Amino acid sequence: MKEKIELLKALQERDTLIKEKEETIVEIPKIIQEEEEKIKDLNKEIEEKKAYFEELKKKLRHNERELSIYEDKIKGFKSRIYEIKTKKELDTLDSEVAKLEKQKGQLEEESLLLMDEIDNEERILNEKIKEKEIKEQDFIKKRDELELKFKEAKISLDTALKEKTDIASHLEQNILNLYETIRKNKNNIVLARIEGNICGVCQMSLRPQAINEVKECQEIIRCESCLRILYI
């Protein structure tokens, strides 16, 4: 029975490794996908900022054209001053010039604010582009490492599965059935080492008789609390 317990311990070691590698194989593609999504989101944010940046520059160019029109109109009105013959005509002209000057001043103020915003948006955009370049470089390195880890996990998994099959071939079917039942119900932990007078897994006290029976190693003895197979 001692040999069978050793085989069961070896079987549990392989199952622990199998579970670990299976989780790794499932998890790695998810991690890569998450990192790819982060890059995509950053690219989308950059494209949106580029579009907004271009819209601001377009608006500034429009304002500059409008300012040029205002300046031409003001010059036109002022050039007519020598053609004026009455005070009423002069007052009307002054009123029109003042109105245009006010509109021009408002447009100039708006243009200054636009230039400040353009400078700020350009700074943010350049920072985002630099951030993206760094993240892409980090991602390529991380992806290569993860892909290597994925391949290694698959190789380890294949090896562990073959070793498990070989170990299982040396055990009776009834013992294997018991092992699989416990494994499925007890989170892959089938065997429990006796520590002093307690079960090393569930930490519950064991009867002296049970401990002696495990030492005698004549048959499989299970913890009365967690039902795992006991060994010393």
The yes-or-no verdict on residue 214 having pLDDT over 90 is yes
pTM of the prediction?
0.73
Residue-wise pLDDT tens digits, 29-49: 999 999 999 999 999 999 999
The whole-angstrom separation of Cα 223 and Cα 194 is: 9
Q: Residue 137: its pLDDT value, please? A: 95
- Percentage of the chain beyond pLDDT 70 is 100
| Cα distance between residue 120 and residue 60, in whole Å | 14
pLDDT at position 159 is 98
Query: Which H/E stretch holds residue 6?
Result: helix 2-79
Report percent pLDDT > 90 for the chain: 89
The reported pLDDT for the residue numbered 175 is 96
pLDDT of 228 over the 80 cut: yes
pLDDT at residue 209, rounded to an integer: 96
CATH for 24-158 is: 1.10.287.1490
Q: Which residue has the higher pLDDT, 62 or 2?
A: 62
Cβ atoms of 157 and 22 closer than 8 Å: yes
- Each residue of 121-165: pLDDT tens digit? 999 999 999 999 999 999 999 999 999 999 999 999 999 999 999
Angle between helices 87-168 and 2-79 (to 10 degrees): 170
Q: Give me the residues paired with residue 195 across strands.
A: 198
What pLDDT does 16 receive? Answer: 95
- How is residue 224 written in tokens? 């009365």
Q: What is the pLDDT of residues 93-107, one digit of tens each?
A: 889 989 999 999 999
Question: Over the chain, what is the mean pLDDT?
Answer: 95
